[in-house]
Amino acid sequence: MNLKGRHLIDPNDFTIDELNSILDLAVDMKKDLSRYSNLCKGKILATLFYEPSTRTRLSFESAMLRMGGNVLGFADSTTSSASKGESLSDTIRVINGYADIAVIRHPKEGSAKLASEHSYISVINGGDGGHQHPTQTLTDLLTIKLYKDNIENLKVALCGDLKYGRTVHSLIKTLARYNNISFYLVSPNQLKLPEYIKENVKEKYNATIFETENLEDVINEVDILYMTRIQRERFFNEEDYLKLKNSYILTKDKISKSKENMLIMHPLPRVNEIDSSVDSDKRAVYFEQAHNGVFVRMALMAKLLGVV
Amino acid sequence: MNLKGRHLIDPNDFTIDELNSILDLAVDMKKDLSRYSNLCKGKILATLFYEPSTRTRLSFESAMLRMGGNVLGFADSTTSSASKGESLSDTIRVINGYADIAVIRHPKEGSAKLASEHSYISVINGGDGGHQHPTQTLTDLLTIKLYKDNIENLKVALCGDLKYGRTVHSLIKTLARYNNISFYLVSPNQLKLPEYIKENVKEKYNATIFETENLEDVINEVDILYMTRIQRERFFNEEDYLKLKNSYILTKDKISKSKENMLIMHPLPRVNEIDSSVDSDKRAVYFEQAHNGVFVRMALMAKLLGVV
Amino acid sequence: MNLKGRHLIDPNDFTIDELNSILDLAVDMKKDLSRYSNLCKGKILATLFYEPSTRTRLSFESAMLRMGGNVLGFADSTTSSASKGESLSDTIRVINGYADIAVIRHPKEGSAKLASEHSYISVINGGDGGHQHPTQTLTDLLTIKLYKDNIENLKVALCGDLKYGRTVHSLIKTLARYNNISFYLVSPNQLKLPEYIKENVKEKYNATIFETENLEDVINEVDILYMTRIQRERFFNEEDYLKLKNSYILTKDKISKSKENMLIMHPLPRVNEIDSSVDSDKRAVYFEQAHNGVFVRMALMAKLLGVV
């Protein structure tokens, strides 16, 4: 499937077939990394990070280096011309002469989209405010595919701050497009998934959604438990916070009766929402999930550059 | 022309023949990039940026990577040993053991010169305060050469802040050394080109200089219109600013009767001194100018490293 | 000697034979650099710098690039996920998926050790607070070896702040393990080497230690003069500072009767503790010492990666 020159701003930019072609390539890259070590020789990735991110930036860099390509860019806006008042559309037009593909992380929603409209090299959205984070979604999909073989007929719990988390929004909207995915949304009342996303997913894709405040209600049923962080300052009052906070901290006890092949996922970084005692459980795949981010970004860039 | 081991601090460090040999190589590199993709294999460029600059730093990095070399360095002084009080002359002596060539951007005038005096690897001035910015000048020359074929018999307007802009000073002093260049200096009275530069150019190179406050006076005559930014805080009083500011903002209307093959250039970043409606005009070459910065820096480094 | 997969947190992690095998390889790498230019092709070094350091970071980067490998990482904690509250142990587990070897500089003592306990790729301590700085010690050893051939039967003066300087602590503890090294400790009373280090070195390795406040007492006797910086704020009172400060500034005069083949070393950066008039003295090897840091880090990484 030819994706040369395309941009990736929103996971919905790609059809399910296109997404799957990236995932299939990523699976093969993970299996046989050395076979791809010269794929991007001579290619340059520009990493334009207007706000810091270890994970996203370094996984992109690793992905490009693993394919024999090179990287240039900046890690925060203070070392860029943004501090001189240059517009993002001017910056990307200049970068077009320096690099063959670019990833942009920007605090403002829609910025990656704007950049892509002024770019003839492929632009990848590395996170734009609370909006989208499509390569995290690809990473999540690859992890599911590697363990469950097919992305279908799955009960998926998403737990934590479902209101503001862009990771979760991207993932739900994308998973809903696959066959027979049921969602179990676990969050405090104030941090529920926005209604417009729920409606969209239900109506458009006919997905089943079950909502609860209590993780215990679903933890023994689901195939995937996707944890996210709840920031204390998101709660409306201290009372609610104290009442609920323990409910959203995963411990070894809580998963004692969960399915044996349940996947515990997390986009990382975590603070304390997964107790470290869980790390050694074979169902805890969040570190491997982070590692999968390299392979899926390799596959994505190779496709957009048209070298495979 | 052998330039191995030389430093580039001021464009006048090189003869016209030497400058031309760099430009000729850059033209060929732009035409046939892949032929040079292993030229600097095993070479390391150190980018020592004591103040931030996207454009200069990334174009140097791109240039070195395009030739198969590598890059190390820092993007601002807070991540360097400068914060521990190390002198620049000590830093460059240490860097001599880490890299094969270095580019320095520093807020203090004369700093690149100082560094070069303690270095046995080539040092390139990437901008020292309000003083010099020789690789921007090379970029400008390459752009002119690519469009005008020969750098001679040209009417060149320079518009904006001609008093403080190092880009403009470097360019004028260098262009004056070429054959039959006439300068049209367009600036508010308070931001005129310093007298000592004007005198030097007139006496030494016999260049013609015409000065005005109004862009309209020259815009239909010139072969090249070189725009620069005027910072509001440079004006002595608000009244002057309000009176003149529109005069220095280029719009599609203003160039409607300009020559068909006039070049509109700008060192970038721009803020608002060129209206975005001008971008699509075929005479607007400022983004291509930025891209040319990669080729000319490739040629420069290849020459200084002695690999061509 | 096979060191594949080992960590280097403290110079004592390695036996004298293991240290020597690294130094021997470094000597050969310095002699014949080009022979090793593809040794680490396809390998990635992660540089995790939670506090800035030009010298250490760039020498590691240079070392990896000189062997054909690549580098990713961050130069200060503000551009890393540490700002989101991620633990170091989580960060290193993620980095394990991005790189093949890692160097960590962290303000907190014991942090590199902690990271190594959660890492299956080799972790190198690039400095942890006032604690250890093992690759500086390797650099020092290589410099001594290159000039003195064998690291034995040497009179070594260490001058300056011996209380807080981690460089000095690492060096003394390591040198003491070699044969017949006598130490001449030169420092103000308030900045003497901590008693526990002195006792350890005396009892365990039977090393001779002579202490004085005056550099003049020893400067004509020793084979090596290792200078370090004294920060003004370390003195208890201004009177002591004024009395002693000149005593710890090395000048050409002071070394006029020193041994002809004495080595003047310094971990750099220096501020004013070695007068620049000393730089041209052939006994001043501190810049070459800095350059040796590249070769010894090449050898170290090649050993830990198991590619030699």
Both tokens assigned to C178 = 């070699």
CATH of domain A11-132+293-305: 3.40.50.1370
Q: Give the lowest-confidence range in A94-108, A292-306, B154-168, C58-72.
A: B154-168
B chain contacts of residue A84, beta-carbon cutoff 8 Å: 269, 271
Binding site per annotation, positions of B: 55-56, 84, 105, 133, 136, 166, 229, 268-269
Catalytic residues of C: 55-56, 84, 105, 133
Encode pLDDT of A128-179 as tens digits. 887 789 999 999 999 999 999 899 999 999 999 999 888 899 999 999 999 9
Q: Quick one: how far is CA B128 from the chain centroid? A: 12
From residue B137, how far is each of B15, B46, B171, B174, C144 by CA, in Å?
14, 21, 5, 8, 47
Q: How far apart are the first and last CA of chain C?
A: 9
Binding site per annotation, positions of C for carbamoyl phosphate: 55-56, 105, 133, 136, 268-269
In this prediction, the residues of chain C whose per-residue pLDDT falls under 50 are: none
B chain contacts of residue A117, beta-carbon cutoff 8 Å: none
Residue B292 to residue B285: CA distance in whole angstroms: 10
Residue A38 to residue A21: CA distance in whole angstroms: 20
Please return the burial class of B118, using the count of CB atoms within 10 Å of its CB with bins 0-12, 13-18 and 19+: middle
Average pLDDT over residues A41-46: 98
How confident is the model at residue C82, as a pLDDT? 56
Sign of CA dihedral B278, B280, B282, B286: positive
Greatest C-alpha distance within chain A? 57
From residue C99, how far is each of A65, C72, C85, C241, C305 by CA, in Å?
10, 8, 22, 47, 11
Domain boundaries, chain B: 11-132+293-305, 135-289
Provide the shortest C-alpha distance from residue A166 to chain B (in Å). 29
Q: Is the peptide bond before B188 cis (omega within 30 degrees of 0)?
A: no
Residue C11 to residue C127: CA distance in whole angstroms: 12
SS3 C176: coil
Residue C289 to residue C144: CA distance in whole angstroms: 9
Q: Quick one: how far is CA A289 from the chain centroid? A: 10
Closest Cα partner for C139 from C88, C63, C33? Answer: C63
Is A194 part of any known ligand binding site?
Answer: no
Provide the shortest C-alpha distance from residue A62 to chain C (in Å). 5
Helices (H), chain B: 16-31, 54-66, 88-95, 111-117, 134-148, 166-175, 195-205, 238-244, 286-305
A139 lies within 8 A of chain C by CB: no
A84 to chain B: closest CA residue: B269
Contacts of B1 (CB under 8 A, 6+ apart): B17, B18, B21, B303
Q: In what order do the strands lie in the sheet with B44-49?
A: B70-74, B44-49, B101-106, B122-128
Binding site per annotation, positions of B for L-aspartate: 84, 166, 229
Residue C144 to residue C147: CA distance in whole angstroms: 5
Report A:227-286 residues touching B (Cβ under 8 A). Answer: none
Both tokens assigned to B40 = 């600097």
Residue B82 to residue C54: CA distance in whole angstroms: 9
- Cβ atoms < 10 Å from Cβ of C261: 11
In this prediction, the residues of chain B whose per-residue pLDDT falls under 50 are: none
C chain contacts of residue A75, beta-carbon cutoff 8 Å: 74-75, 79
Q: Is A106 a catalytic residue?
A: no
Tally of residues, chain B: 308
How confident is the model at residue A245, as a pLDDT? 73
Beta carbons of A64 and A301 less than 8 angstroms apart:
yes
Number of A to C CB contacts under 8 A, please give it: 75
Nearest 5°: CA angle at C209, between C204 and C210?
A: 170
Please return the burial class of A270, using the count of CB atoms within 10 Å of its CB with bins 0-12, 13-18 and 19+: buried
C33 to chain B: closest CA residue: B42
Contact A58 C72 (CB under 8 A): yes
Contact A55 C94 (CB under 8 A): yes
A294 lies within 8 A of chain C by CB: yes
Catalytic residues of B: 55-56, 84, 105, 133
C80 lies within 8 A of chain A by CB: yes
Contact A72 B52 (CB under 8 A): no
Residue A170 to residue A121: CA distance in whole angstroms: 24
Is A177 part of any known ligand binding site?
Answer: no
Beta carbons of B201 and B176 less than 8 angstroms apart:
yes
B127 lies within 8 A of chain C by CB: no
How confident is the model at residue A42, as a pLDDT? 97
Task: Name the CATH superfamily housing domain B135-289.
Answer: Aspartate/ornithine carbamoyltransferase (3.40.50.1370)
Is A204 part of any known ligand binding site?
Answer: no
How confident is the model at residue A83, as a pLDDT? 55
C chain contacts of residue B99, beta-carbon cutoff 8 Å: 62
- Cβ atoms < 10 Å from Cβ of C257: 9
Contact B290 A86 (CB under 8 A): no
Both tokens assigned to B254 = 């203003």
Read off the amino acid at residue A221.
E
B30 lies within 8 A of chain A by CB: no
ipTM: 0.94
Contact A84 B37 (CB under 8 A): no
Is A133 part of any known ligand binding site?
Answer: yes
Beta carbons of C158 and C184 less than 8 angstroms apart:
yes
Beta carbons of A71 and C72 less than 8 angstroms apart:
yes
Read off the amino acid at residue A185.
L
How confident is the model at residue A80, as a pLDDT? 58
Provide the shortest C-alpha distance from residue C210 to chain B (in Å). 31
Provide the shortest C-alpha distance from residue A267 to chain B (in Å). 29
Contact A269 C72 (CB under 8 A): no
B78 to chain C: closest CA residue: C52
Q: Do domains B11-132+293-305 and B135-289 have the same CATH topology?
A: yes
